[in-house]
Amino acid sequence: MKSLGVRAGILSVVLFFAFCLVWQIAVTPSASSGPALDPEYAKLMGITTAGAQSAMPGPVEVAGKLWDALKDPFYDNGPNDKGLGLQLAYSIGRVAIGYGLAVLVAVPLGFLIGMSALAYRALDPFIQVLKPISPLAWMPLALYTIKDSNLSAIFVIFICSVWPMLLNTAFGVGAVRKEWLNVARTLEVGPWRRAFTVILPAAAPTILTGMRISIGIAWLVIVAAEMLVGGTGIGYFVWNEWNNLSIANVIVGILMIGVVGMVLDLILARLQRRVTFPE
């Protein structure tokens, strides 16, 4: 009997190949299926092969495209043809700036809100209204005021990642155990030292949870935002490949969005584990 991890790994691989097999079968043209097209009409429709090849690529074709993309990820042949790595780098860069700014604003602000019950209550209605707004709804406002599509995308990332961090920081700071604060008080610890040596470490797990939620949302939103603003980025890449009718490349793009999202989440999970303390 092998360990659970090994067995789960084997099952994952089996499932993966089963999925690929079903996929391959589904897209393989069968000779009998489909009405025979008039070759002239087929030509007009862009269907060149006589065997009615589906536009949906099979796993082998996608794997080939993926290999091509990974072989040379950073080439740049002008606006319509950039390497996948380059596009991802644009997206990650935008997320990093927008998300970084959000951290710089949300954590200190959340800290202040969490310290004051008055501020918490006073600001809560605003936060509750602003939080559920789809970040893309800000896009026209951002484009109008900022007048720069790239900065607008960054703004949208900022605005979508700021709320979970703000709320979690405020909540974490407000929920610091009173006895820990009392320890600091009886030791006559000053407000700054108290903030950094008691409140911050005590609230860190909650803050990191907010940061982890935020990075997930930011990565979801950047794809949509880039489809809107265009130019560069993985979202633009996916949309552009759709316009090029290269479904294989769209699938490659989707796959990479998933992989990068997972890596971002893993990084935050790692950080979260580092600041979490057992009680």
Partner 1 sequence: MAEQNPKFISIEGISRRYPKREGGVTTIFEDLWLQVARGEFVCIIGHSGCGKTSVLNILSGLEAPTDGAVIVDGQAIEGPSLDRAVIFQGHALLPWKSVMGNVAYAVSSRWRRAGKAEVEERARRFIDLVGLKGSEMKKPAELSGGMRQRVGIARALSIEPKILLMDEPFSALDALTRGTLQDEVRRICTRTGQTVVMITHDVDEAIYLADKIVLMTNGPEAQIAEVVENPLPKDRARDSVHRAADYYPLRNHLVDFLVSRSRTFRDDKPAGYDPRHPPVVRIGTGAPAADIAPAPALAAGAP
Residues that bind partner 1 (CB under 8 A): 179-180, 182-183, 185-189, 197-198, 201-202, 275, 277-279
Minimum separation from the CB atom of position 114 to partner 1 (A): 18
Q: Residue 212 Cβ, how far from partner 1 at the closest point, in Å?
A: 19
Determine the Cα–Cα distance for residues 168 and 164; give it in Å rounded to an integer: 6
CB 210 within 8 A of CB 162: no
d(CA 16, CA 20): 6
Closer CB to partner 1, residue 145 or residue 182?
182
CB–CB of 166/113 below 8 Å? yes
Residue 177 phi, psi (nearest 5): -60, 135
State which amino acid sits at residue 71.
Answer: K
**Residue 23 phi/psi, 5° resolution?**
-60, -50
Structure tokens at 120: 């918490």
Choose between 191 and 231: whose C-beta lies nearer to partner 1: 191
Residue 176 CB, nearest approach to partner 1 (Å): 11
Query: Least separation, in Å, of the C-beta of 187 and partner 1?
Result: 4
**What is the chain's Cα-based Rg?**
25
CB of 211 to partner 1, least distance (A): 18
Give the single-character DSSP code of 199. Answer: I
- Output 20 or 181, the one with its CB closest to partner 1: 181
| Residue placing its CB nearer to partner 1 in the complex, 43 or 273 | 273
Of residues 40 and 188, the one with the C-beta less far from partner 1: 188
Contacts of 10 (CB under 8 A, 6+ apart): none
